[in-house]
Amino acid sequence: MTMIPEFIEAKDCYCLEARRKARAITRLYEEKLRPHGLRATQFSVLAVLKLKGPTSTTELADFLVLERTTMTRGAAVMAKHGWIEPSPTEDKRVKAWRLTASGSQKLKEAFPAWQEVQHQLKKDMETKHNDKE
């Protein structure tokens, strides 16, 4: 790769590095969750609904840092699988979701795989931190 001197600083872009690390971490979760038929984001949606109870599409999107339209499409897929279902709201314009028994079971089955990645990442981070000391 040819470096153009006036843009040499761009090779150390924090945004690019953060995105690369985020994709690598997501890949680890995806690999462990795949045998359970879940994507990382789907696991997160199930976990949020388990912890918070019925939650609007907008709240889910905000919490998971997703576009609302992306969350809407993802929720529709999860509803087709029977993991979540619409939840009644006082404001009929607001779409909310709740965990189904099937979704709760799916979360329970996938949780140990998620924990494996959590423990591995914690161990890796502690090792890197200790190496710096």
Q: Please give the share of the chain, as a percent, with pLDDT higher than 70.
A: 93
In a domain, 120, yes or no: yes
- Amino acid identity of 8? I
The pLDDT value given to residue 53: 97
Q: Specify the number of domains making up the chain.
A: 1
In a domain, 23, yes or no: no
CA atoms of 41 and 26, how far apart (whole Å): 9
Model confidence over 50-95: pLDDT tens digits? 999 999 999 999 999 999 999 999 999 999 999 999 999 999 899 9
In a domain, 13, yes or no: no
The two tokens of residue 27 are: 């890949």
CATH of the domain at 72: 1.10.10.10
In a domain, 78, yes or no: yes
Model confidence over 7-17: pLDDT tens digits? 777 778 899 99
In a domain, 129, yes or no: no
In a domain, 24, yes or no: no
Contact by Cβ (8 Å): 81, 100: no
Mean pLDDT, range 18-45, rounded to an integer: 97
In a domain, 21, yes or no: no
In a domain, 39, yes or no: no
Per the structure, the complete domain to which residue 96 belongs is given by: 48-124
Distances (CA, A) of 79 to 5, 16, 49: 52, 34, 13
Q: What is the pTM of this model?
A: 0.87
Mean pLDDT, range 22-33, rounded to an integer: 97
